[in-house]
Amino acid sequence: MASTYKLPGLPEQGRCLVMGVVNVTPDSFSDGGAYFDPKRAIEHGLRLAEEGADIVDVGGESTRPGAQRISRDEELRRVGPVVRELSRQGVAVSIDTMRAEVAEYAVEAGARLVNDVSGGLADPSMARLVAKAGVAYVLMHWRGHSHDMQNRAMYDDVVREVHNELRQRMEAMVDEGVDPDQIILDPGLGFAKRPDRSHNWALLSALDTFHDMGRPLLIAGSRKRFLGRLLTDAEGTARPSTGCDAATVALTTLAADRGAWCVRVHDVRPNADAVRVASAWRSGGADLDEGRADVIGRGGL
């Protein structure tokens, strides 16, 4: 199912794609600001591509629970040189932003995908920018900014409500001129989804439900709190995010088998292996020759 979608400017591999994460922030939940320096961020992005990332997602604003917003100028200062240099070196870059002005700058610098966790709600200019630029666009389920999003995680039926709200946002973006063929849907794991109420697991177990909208699905569960809570130790302490990479690989394998178009992950190499295993499993080995030619590294872009 993942291979049936053609998106402008993005690679087609006939399998679930892998999106590697570069957080150009001082307070990322997953790496603690290890790549805040632009030079280190660029080196990390190139390394992710070499390890098998089909797309590298560059973000300058933390969206962890409780995070406060930064200014537009600061966001541009953080992501600008990273997007430009990675694009110059042939990496398929995604810009992770809620601001149309940042997205516009990044697209002009070479980004091929806009990954908007607000689904166009944070900036009313986003739809017009995406329509004009003609780039692929990730529309995520969102109920509010990080500082209060968990207070909005109230559902009678999380699968039905997330599905309906995603459809409504997609229709709204299309009404504003975005071509449906540009849109990728993301159920927003961890965003206004409580790890103590099984919201994320309910969405994952019902992943097939979202295919009826006819758009590719991005699954972004890497190192998130619901995994750490699942792996709580005997004393009741949730596992830290960096201890959840093996669980992320398991999630990747299952999501790929359920037809996810792409998975967004921090530790690329084992997840790049996982999507290839899932592809071989689904096809019964029919695509093994193609898989051997699908070399890990930027040459595969």
Bridge partner list, 265: 20
Backbone phi and psi for residue 68, each to the nearest 5 degrees, phi listed first? -100, 155
Q: How many other CB atoms are there within 10 angstroms of residue 27's CB atom?
A: 14
Query: Residue 181 carries which DSSP code?
Result: G
Say if CB 40 and CB 6 are below 8 A apart.
no
Q: Identify the sign of the CA torsion 24, 115, 29, 224.
A: negative
State both tokens at 108: 């002009």
> Which one is catalytic: 215, 225, 264, 276?
264
Residue 233, C-beta contacts closer than 8 angstroms, at least 6 positions apart: 239
Residue 301, C-beta contacts closer than 8 angstroms, at least 6 positions apart: 11, 49, 54, 90, 91, 92
Say if CB 253 and CB 277 are below 8 A apart.
yes
Give the alpha-carbon dihedral of 29, 48, 231, 224, to 10 degrees. Answer: 40
Active site residue 132: no
- CA distance to 80, 143, 288, per residue, from 135 (Å): 18, 24, 31
As a whole number of angstroms, the distance between CA 66 and CA 222 comes to 18
> Which one is catalytic: 15, 223, 224, 282?
224
Active site residue 224: yes
Catalytic residues: 224, 264
